[in-house]
Amino acid sequence: MKKILLIFIFFSHFVLANNLPELGDYSSSKISENDEIFIGRQILFQVNQSDSIIRDIEIKDYLDLLARRLINVSTDPTKRIEFFIVNDSSVNAFAMLGGVIGVHTGLFLAANSESELASVLSHEIAHINQKHISRFLAQQERASYQSTFVMAIALLLARSNPQLASTTMAGASAGSVQGALDFTRENEKEADRVGIQTLNNAGFDVRGARDFFETLKKANQFSGGAAPAFLQTHPITSSRINDIESRLKDFPYKQRIDSQTFHYVKGKLKALLGDRSDTKNILEENIKNKIYINEGGERFALAYIYLMDNEFEKSQEQIWWLFDNKKTNPMTSQLYINYLIKIKKFTEAKKLYEENLNYYPSNRSFIYGLADLYLKTQETEKAIKLLKKNARRFSNDPILYELFAKGYSSQGKKLLQYENLAESAYYNFNLQEAIIRMDLAIKANDGDFYQKSRVESRLKQFQKERQIYSSNK
């Protein structure tokens, strides 16, 4: 987590050094939509440079699908909101300028139900849709754009980790940042109100909002009295709690069963994070003594750890239990395919991938996994054909272009290789790197007239975009 926070600190200096745009028309108390989009892209660029980000496709796709379900019934269904996952054990999530939301892994693991997790996401979505951060920044009429931008970064840091907000205060007053925090406090009730309505509209149990605060109380008991991160960045008062309780009475009781994917995602995070040996021992004891919220989630985590430790028989045993006792789930199939690849049964793995794609044709994990397996077994044409089939569906996905680049590299097609590396950089919000790589594509000695024309046109688009950003000041 420290690395990503340091990146934001760097970002504040980067912004000042490069004369980035003034944050909107303060006289109208409004930050322009273009400025917000630009800031959001820059934040995501810096975020994507951090090794603290969880990039697992299954986990990210689960979060995006859950969030999209909420956004579609929110006050602004057309709003583009980007999510990223931070490897941090503290229980927190935070909304940022430009329609960006960060979610800590600690939140996933602490949530006892899918409705609890959804309640936090809907709350953050409400912060963005109600323009709480941008409205505050737009009110700083006497601030220069430089100090306002530094203050914005400090506010973002404060929402992520209040103790580190002061690090960025060289260019803005501490009083201004305190005002920002006060402003967020004033808007917590509104985010609660709007978020609860969104939660209900999406079919979740609205009492998940109240239950989440009970979860935070328990977290507080085990943290030596220190308030959980979420309560530091989203201060709660007795009046706010009473308001939440009062609003819940307006909604009928709604029993909602968690998706199995929710528990598998939690299980996968348990397997990937922390000390594997300790986690394995805990999981084994939990299953032995039947101490769990969801047995499938615990067994999924254990199967994953066994596989990482090359304990293949034990892993297979847990996978068979999941197949026998739980409904078919793509994550179970992917885990079994991972097992087959580990024991070098590539033919069986490819067959299972192909079978699963008949049932889940848009599953990124299956599509990219099969393409990567084709590349590993020198079936490059099959890999490229599969990627082309899904290119329109995932046209803004950097991983798609990375796989394309890998395939074309094995074929010695330099123009296509660099073109796809450029697109990967662009969709990782790194415009400068995208320009460099697209220029290399143009300079490649291969490629037909159509391909050369395409990369030249795309390079001009990148350069124009850079010019727009640099001149918008």
Q: Is the pLDDT of residue 162 over 50?
A: no
Over the stretch 411-469, which tens digit does the pLDDT of each residue have?
A: 999 999 999 999 999 999 899 999 999 999 999 989 999 999 999 999 999 999 888 76
Structural tokens at position 29: 């108390």
Q: Where are the alpha helices (DSSP H) in 203-259?
A: 207-221, 229-233, 238-248
Nearest CA-CA partner of 424 in 411, 445, 444, 406: 406
What pLDDT shows up at residue 234? 79
What pLDDT shows up at residue 11? 40
User: Structural domains in the chain?
Assistant: 2-248 (no CATH), 396-473 (1.25.40)
Over the stretch 101-119, which tens digit does the pLDDT of each residue have?
A: 999 999 999 999 999 999 9
Q: Is the pLDDT of residue 317 over 80?
A: yes
CA–CA distances in Å: residue 98 to residues 128, 137, 261, 442 = 8, 12, 29, 33
Neighbours of 445 (CB within 10 A): 6
- State if pTM tops 0.75: yes
What pLDDT shows up at residue 135? 79
Sheet of 100-104, strand order:
82-86, 100-104, 93-96
Over the stretch 201-234, which tens digit does the pLDDT of each residue have?
A: 999 999 999 999 888 877 766 555 566 778 777 7
Q: Which of 57-66, 162-171, 266-275, 376-385 has the lowest mean pLDDT?
A: 162-171
pLDDT band, residue 236 (cuts 50/70/90): confident
pLDDT band, residue 134 (cuts 50/70/90): confident
What pLDDT shows up at residue 9? 37
Q: Is the pLDDT of residue 275 over 80?
A: yes
pLDDT band, residue 136 (cuts 50/70/90): confident
DSSP letters along 17-45, please?
A: HTTPPP-SBGGGTB--HHHHHHHHHHHHH
Instruction: Give the integer Cα–Cα distance in Å for 129 and 277.
Output: 43
